[in-house]
Every structure is written in C-alpha cells, then in structure tokens.
Chains A and B, each alone.
Chain A
Amino acid sequence: MRFTTNDLPGEVPMVVARDIRKRFGAIEVLKGVSLAIGKGDVVAVIGPSGSGKSTFLRCLNHLEAVHAGEVVIEGETLVSTDAAGVCRYAPEAELRRICRKMGMVFQQFNLFPHLTVLQNIIEAPITVKGLSRAAIIPVAEELLRKVGLLDKRDSYPARLSGGQKQRVAIARALAMEPDIMLFDEPTSALDPELTGEVLRSMRQLADERMTMLVVTHEMAFAREVSTRVVFMDEGEIVEARPPGEMFTSPEHPRTRAFLEHML
C-alpha cells in the first residue's frame, strides 16, 4: 500500500482516512485506502469505474459502513478500528453531528420531488438546525442567486434540466453550511452541454476555499481546479499528486494507461 497521507503541520486536517477497508460480500472493494485532506484542498479522485472511488467517498460520511480503518473529520473520530480489528462507530447522534460537517452532491441529484426548489433548500436547515423560515429564506435565495437559479425558486425539480437540478443540489448542501463538500460524479448523469454550468458552480466554490473531495471523470476539471489528484484502481490509491505532475508525468504505469485512455 502506498502511503498518501499528507503532513500538514500546525493544522488539524479536515478529513483523515486511514487504511479503509470495505467488502461487498466476498469482493473487497477498498483494500486499505488512506488519505488526508487539508483545509481548502480540492481533491479530485479519478480512476476507472469499479475502482472503488465512489465507495470510498461514501465511507467518509457513513453512507457505507467500513469493515476496518479509521475516519476522522476535523479531529473528531467517526469510526476507528482497535488492535483486535474490531471496528467501532461513534454513537448515532454523534455520528450524525460529525457527518453534518460534510455536504454531499450525488450523481443522480436526489432532490426531493415533492418540494419546490426553495423548499428543498430550506428543509434541512429548518428541520435539523431548527432555524426559522424567516432566517433561512434569504440565505437560500442568496445561494440560488449564486448558482444562477433564483428564478426557479418556486419550481418543482421535475421542471428543471439536469444541470439545474445539480446546481439546486449544490445549493441545498451549502445551506447546511458544511465545512467539506463531497461530490460523487456530479456531472456523470448530465448531457455534455450541461456539465459546464455545474462545473462553474463547483469552481466558484473552490475559489472560495471550500474543502472539496470530487469523484469525477472530468479530467479538465481535475487538472484546472483541483489542488491534488488521486488515482484509484482496484480498491487502492495508486498515486496522489498535484495535477501538474499527475497529468504530465504520471509515475505509475496504471495511471499512465488510464490517462492515455481518458485524454
């Protein structure tokens, strides 16, 4: 296993994953993945389908339970594994509180179809944080303005294009004021001409120094926006380097083969 955890002196990393292992039945999809993400890092995770990159992302916020390893979010332990190999998660309430530091955007958007765009965004701040409508609506409207969809405020998701849906999903996640944003192939379900608008919103977020982990097939985005590119294959991190180096002089033959295929 290649050790990829960065040393970040004097600063608690936003995300630390150590030796994450995950099986689906007999198939080991993550074979000990380690990664540390510092504040303001934009990490692009690339790799062939089935390489475990989405699963890795989903292990960070407990959408998937790991079989072994450790996840620490801003210094708080989500899950740890003791010397005997017993894997222990934080208690449910604690778990939810820690996971709330991470917003997530899904490939399939997963907007709530029975709620309007605005209602989608204010639902969690009201229900989970107990904010009043009066307090959150201006925030939601500002977020909608930011992603360029204020005019869709009262539309239902079914009336939106894929790119618009994904931008609403980004606004919805941001309304909970996360410290970290996880993107799980945010443009993979979109028509090619609609990916640009979503990537623009993500780039804007990166410019604001949001800590981001992005599983993506968008090599241009990885190259131009990310601060580090992680190449995963067959359940392991093969190589993790700044985009400049990764795309010009990849070290590992597997990385080279993948990039040649993608570019």
Chain B
Amino acid sequence: MNYLIEILGPLLEGTAVTLQVFLLTLLLSVPFGLGLALLRVSHFRLASGLVNGYIWLMRGTPLMLQMLFIYFALPFVPLIGVRLPDFPAAIVAFVLNYAAYFAEIFRAGIQSIERGQYEAARVLGLSYGQTMRRIVLPQVVKRILPPMSNETITLVKDTSLIYVLAMNDLLRAARGIVQRDFTTMPFVVAAAFYLLMTLLLTWGFSYLEKRHAVYDE
C-alpha cells in the first residue's frame, strides 16, 4: 500500500502530461478538422484536392513518424526550418494528424445530410454559409457523436507515443518505475488510469448523445 502511494506521485505527473497533450490536441484539431472538411466538400476543386492530398499524407504515414519528422527533421527543411521544443512538436504532430481523421468524420457527417435540407434552406433564402451553420452542422453533430467518441478514446491512448520525444507521459513514467523496481505493479496502475479516462469520456459522450436525442430523424 505504501509502495502504491509512493509510485502514485510520478504516475500522476505522467497523467498530467498525457491530459495536456490530449486536451490541447482535441481543442485544436476539431476546429482545424472542421475547416478541412468544409473545404473538402466545397466546390473549390483546388482546395478540395489539396485537402484530399493532405488527408492521404496524414493518414498514410505513422503518427510516430510525423512526430519524429517535426521534431528532428523540420529544422532542416528549407524556408520553414523551425526548431520546436519537444512539447510543441508533439502537439503540432498530433493536431495535424488528428485533424485529418476528424475531417473525414465531419465530411461523412456533412454528406449524410439529405439534399432536401439544402434545397429547403435555399428556397427560404439562406446562403450557403447560413445553411451550413444553422441547418447542416447542427444535424451533423448528432450523427457524428459515436465515431467522434471512438476517435477521442483512441487519442487518449495514442498520447503514449510521445515517449519517442523522451517526454514523461503516463506510460513512460510507469515504464521507468517498472525498470527501476522490477515490479509490474505500475503497469496495472497505469492501465487503471487509462481506463478511468476512457470511462469519463464514454460518459461524456453518452451524455451528449442523450442531449441530442430530443429529436428523431
């Protein structure tokens, strides 16, 4: 029991890092992904094509590779050569990557709205922007909650990838103690922490789903 309390300190510190990466990524990649999705479904061929290529690149290469590239290789890229410290580098990689996945979820949601909704909005005089904001996106939110819940839970666990930049997230903190004390107990505790975070997210999303269930389609 005393041992448990002893290792709790470093594990909680690791959890704080994990949560920071998680929350910042979510906060930034959702609006970025929405922007990508709107460009993707727009009639601007060029923008739509570029977004397509971007999504292919981000989904087609491992997140870990992207993180390593931004941290180690970006400083040597001509023109945009910037050297980012580890935490910002990780956030940039996560946001770029997750925005691509979110964009695809949003796109699927937007395209699932019937054409009649656009036509009804149009004959009432709503502009394209007003139709998106007032009619389409509010309905999209309801439809994408289940896949969003899925992707968000994946993000919680993906944060453990930041160990490649030698950052002390929950999993790396646990592994450090395991290697020091020759006991697997920290892994069990770390697993419990991940499960707790996932549980909270699951509750959060089912609350949102219930709130959106006031209307049927």
- Interface of A with B (CB < 8 Å)? 61, 63, 96, 99-100, 102-104, 106, 108, 110-114, 123-124, 127-129, 156-159, 172-173, 176
* Residue B59 is within 8 A (CB to CB) of chain A in the complex: no
CB distance from A164 to the nearest CB of B (A): 15
17 A-B contact pairs sorted by A residue (CB < 8 Å): A63-B119, A99-B122, A99-B123, A102-B123, A106-B116, A106-B119, A112-B139, A114-B142, A123-B134, A124-B121, A127-B130, A127-B134, A128-B130, A129-B125, A156-B214, A173-B123, A176-B124
- List B contacts of A61 (CB < 8 A): 123
Assembly CA distance A124 to B114 (angstroms):
19
- Contact (Cβ within 8 A) A106 B120: yes
- Contact (Cβ within 8 A) B139 A113: yes
Assembly CA distance A157 to B130 (angstroms):
21
Q: Which of A99, A108, A124, A176 counts the most chain B CB atoms within 10 A?
A: A124
CB distance from B94 to the nearest CB of A (A): 31
Assembly CA distance A19 to B120 (angstroms):
26
CB distance from A167 to the nearest CB of B (A): 15
CB distance from A121 to the nearest CB of B (A): 10
Assembly CA distance A111 to B114 (angstroms):
11
- Contact (Cβ within 8 A) B127 A158: no
Q: Which of A99, A128, A156, A157 counts the most chain B CB atoms within 10 A?
A: A128
Helix, strand, loop or mixed for chain B's interface?
helix
- List A contacts of B116 (CB < 8 A): 106, 108, 110
Type the 1/0 row for B107-129, where 1 means its CB is closer than 8 Å to any CB of A. 00000001011011111111100
- List B contacts of A106 (CB < 8 A): 116, 119-120
CB distance from B10 to the nearest CB of A (A): 47
Besides A104-B123, A108-B116, A127-B134, 8 other CB < 8 A contacts? A63-B119, A112-B120, A114-B138, A114-B215, A124-B126, A127-B126, A128-B130, A156-B216
Q: Which of B119, B125, B135, B216 counts the most chain A CB atoms within 10 A?
A: B125
Assembly CA distance A80 to B139 (angstroms):
37
* Residue B181 is within 8 A (CB to CB) of chain A in the complex: no
* Residue B217 is within 8 A (CB to CB) of chain A in the complex: yes
- List A contacts of B216 (CB < 8 A): 113, 156, 158-159
- List B contacts of A99 (CB < 8 A): 122-123, 125
Closest to B134 in A: A127
- Contact (Cβ within 8 A) A113 B127: no
- Contact (Cβ within 8 A) B135 A112: yes
- List A contacts of B127 (CB < 8 A): 96
- List A contacts of B124 (CB < 8 A): 123-124, 128, 172-173, 176
Q: Which of B123, B214, B217 counts the most chain A CB atoms within 10 A?
A: B123
CB distance from B213 to the nearest CB of A (A): 11
Closest to A155 in B: B215
Closest to B212 in A: A114
Q: Which of A61, A113, A128, A176 counts the most chain B CB atoms within 10 A?
A: A113
Assembly CA distance A104 to B118 (angstroms):
13
